């Protein structure tokens, strides 16, 4: 296990220095984890026309397009991938909603116990609004909702203890629940 972490960090470092072969090896090495994230996201979507492989490929294409990469470890890579997958799913939901003949809401069911399905576009709007106040809460929410990361994993990426991540998650969830409820009440 320790050897895998050392190799992953070495590949991340080389990719950060511009070595595309290291990037490709890293993506191949972490592909099973990308697949888990994509499966979790797509399992919870209704009426989805994107496959797991397509979502991963779109995320990988966006990773490849990054010019400067400063990813410290596996958790940071998963957090970045989660953000990219969020953006892909939100872009697809927006495109789907532009079609005036369809009025299906695209929902996100998180793997987080006790969480109810959420409209993806409404969640994205709420996250954008939350970002105006606290960008770290947005990153935490992305890691939890879109990356399926535990509080310990997310805390490590954010550089805080699990207890701090848990407290901040409580704040983020409460803020998002209020924002989503307020939005639903406006209709």
- Portion of the chain with pLDDT greater than 90, in percent: 11
**Opening angle at CA 58, ends 67 and 55, nearest 5:** 145
84 vs 45, more confident: 84
* Overall average pLDDT of the 52-57 stretch: 87
Residue 44: the pLDDT is 64
Q: Which residues pair with 108 in a beta bridge?
A: 118
Q: Any idea where the domains of the chain sit in the sequence?
A: 2-186
- Each residue's pLDDT tens digit, 99-117: 645 545 545 545 444 456 6
- Each residue's pLDDT tens digit, 11-24: 888 888 888 888 88
Q: How confident is the model at residue 33 (pLDDT cuts 50, 70, 90)?
A: confident
Greatest Cα pair distance in the chain:
54
Supply φ then ψ for residue 69, to 5 degrees: -125, 125
All residues at 6 or more sequence positions from 85 whose CB lies less than 8 Å from its CB, including other chains: 37, 38, 41, 55, 59, 146, 147
For the cut 50, the answer to whether the pLDDT of residue 187 exceeds it is no
Mean pLDDT across the chain, nearest whole number? 80
Residue 48: the pLDDT is 66
For the cut 90, the answer to whether the pLDDT of residue 75 exceeds it is no
Residue 38: the pLDDT is 85
pTM above 0.85, yes or no: no
Q: Alpha-carbon distance 147 to 57, whole Å?
A: 16
For the cut 50, the answer to whether the pLDDT of residue 163 exceeds it is yes
């Amino acid at each position: 296990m320790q050897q895998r972490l050392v190799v992953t960090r070495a590949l991340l470092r080389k990719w950060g220095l511009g070595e595309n072969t290291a990037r490709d090896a890293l993506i191949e090495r972490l592909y099973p984890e990308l697949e888990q994230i994509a499966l979790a996201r797509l399992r919870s979507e209704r009426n989805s026309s994107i496959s797991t492989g397509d979502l991963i490929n779109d995320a990988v294409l966006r990773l490849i397009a990054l010019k400067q990469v400063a990813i410290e470890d596996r958790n940071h890579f998963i957090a970045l991938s989660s953000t990219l997958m969020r953006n892909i799913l939100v872009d697809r939901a927006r495109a789907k909603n532009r079609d005036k003949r369809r009025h299906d809401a695209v929902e996100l069911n998180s793997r987080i116990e006790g969480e109810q399905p959420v409209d993806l576009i409404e969640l994205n709007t709420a996250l954008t609004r939350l970002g105006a106040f606290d960008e770290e809460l947005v990153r935490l929410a992305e890691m939890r909702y879109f990356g399926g990361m535990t509080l310990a994993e997310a805390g490590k990426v954010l550089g805080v203890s699990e207890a701090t991540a848990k407290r901040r998650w409580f704040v983020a969830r409460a803020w998002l629940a209020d924002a989503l409820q307020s939005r639903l009440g406006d209709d």
